[in-house]
Amino acid sequence: MPKFKEESDVSIELKEPAKYKVVLHNDDYTSMDFVVDILMRIFYKNYEEAQRIMLQVHENGKAICGVYSFEIAQTKAQQVKQLAKQSGFPLLATIEEDI
C-alpha cells in the first residue's frame, strides 16, 4: 500500500480562555461581618484582605472579589447568592468579563 504525506496549511492559534471578575455589590441590609465572612469562605481571602474588599464595597458601591474562568466565576456568584439567601441578606454578586 502506498504511503502519503499529508500537508496542511491550517494554522492553529491557541488563546487563553476568557476571564471573568466576580463583583460584590453594596446594599443597605447585608452586614459588613457577613460580607467579610463570604470573602473568606468563598473567595479564600485572609481577614485583612476581606476587610479591605468589604470597605471597597461599602464605600464605592461594589468591588472585585476575584478573577476566574467563566464556570468558576459563575459558581462563586451562585454560592454567594445561596449563602446570602440562607442568612436572610440580599447580597448581590455578579460576573463581568475581564477585558
Spatial distance between the Cα atoms of 63 and 22, rounded to a whole number of angstroms: 8
Q: Can you give the residue ranges of every domain in the chain?
A: 31-97
Question: What does pTM read for this prediction?
Answer: 0.81
- Taking domain 31-97, whether its CATH number is 3.30.70.260 is answered by no
What is the per-residue pLDDT for 11? 75
Q: What is the pLDDT of residues 6-63, one digit of tens each?
A: 666 777 888 888 999 999 999 999 999 999 999 999 999 999 999 999 999 999 999 9
